[in-house]
Amino acid sequence: MELEEERKRGKLRRKPCSAAISNLDDGTLMHIFSFLSPIPDRYNTALVCDRWRYLACHPRLWLRVDRSLKESEAGVFPNIDSAVAAARPGDTILIAAGGMHLASNIQIKKPLCLIGGGELPDETTLICSRGSDSALELLSTCKLANLTVRAELGCCLLHRSGRLTIERCVLQCESNPLDFLSCPIVSTATADNFSSSVKYNKDSVSVSRTRIEGGAKAVSTSGDLVLQRVRVIYARTNLLFWFDMEPVVVV
């Protein structure tokens, strides 16, 4: 009762826990960080201080792509291709901010999460060169976040199957006069790919807080996916789309 009364009167205050957390050793902190979701929790953790950034970005927690790497380092790769090849299903790949990362026809056949390492999507750019069908070809459940994907021709993202989540990204395609050849998102998923458990394992594309620039249209589908629950917000600086694409199974 006395403690409760003192708390109400403001005499008893909680002590900040940051000092106690900082006293933990690196191994314990890293173990704690491993329980955090890559986005936004572990990403935000890396912004606290230099030590937390080192531990939160450790190869034990996720792989890294860094073009500026001069010497080999465990869990760090010079390009996205090698990081995707080395990743295990369910891994998260952190792509370093600054500069351009080449991404042309990279097939992702396992569940992965690709995250840009900058504070803004514009700080981590994936470039798809002319002559390539897409920057990333996705054949499994994947998540892309905090990235800019730029395609000179073709498409930024080619969705074949699985659940694709695009969050806080920028998708840029060729502007006039060749914009009819470009499309930020292309999906070829069809109902033939689905098992009887379509309710629990279905192909879909979900986009949130993402800016789409260029191209004749934002999304192109040649399969059975349809655009649903569309919400578009116009602003002076950008155009934001919120939508889901889900399969329509014809019986």
Sign of CA dihedral 57, 59, 61, 63: positive
Give the pLDDT of residue 13: 46
Residue 31 to residues 10, 24, 34, 36, 177, Cα–Cα distance (Å): 35, 11, 5, 10, 52
Give the pLDDT of residue 113: 92
Give the pLDDT of residue 30: 85
| Alpha-carbon span 95 to 144, nearest angstrom | 11
Residue 1: half-sphere exposure toward Cβ, Cα within 13 Å? 0
> Structure tokens of 213?
């620039």
| Alpha-carbon span 29 to 21, nearest angstrom | 8
Q: Are 18 and 4 within 8 A, CB to CB?
A: no
Instruction: Identify the architecture of domain 63-191+202-243 in CATH.
Output: 3 Solenoid (2.160)
Each residue's pLDDT tens digit, 9-64: 544 444 444 567 778 888 888 888 888 877 678 778 888 888 888 888 776 778 88
Lowest mean pLDDT across 169-173, 177-181, 217-221: 177-181
* 73 secondary structure, DSSP code: B
- Boundaries of every domain in the chain: 20-61, 63-191+202-243
Each residue's pLDDT tens digit, 190-248: 754 433 333 445 788 888 888 888 777 778 887 666 555 555 555 555 555 555 555 54
Q: Which amino acid is at 164?
A: L
SS (H, E, C) 82-113: HHHHHCCCCCEEEECCCCEEECCCEEECCCEE
Sign of CA dihedral 55, 61, 62, 68: positive
Q: Are 65 and 78 within 8 A, CB to CB?
A: yes
Residue 88 to residues 23, 29, 42, Cα–Cα distance (Å): 32, 23, 19
| Alpha-carbon span 126 to 223, nearest angstrom | 26
Q: Is the pTM of this model over 0.85?
A: no
Which CATH number applies to 20-61? 1.20.1280
Each residue's pLDDT tens digit, 92-117: 899 999 889 999 999 999 999 999 98
Paired sense of beta strands 225-234 and 106-108, if any: unpaired
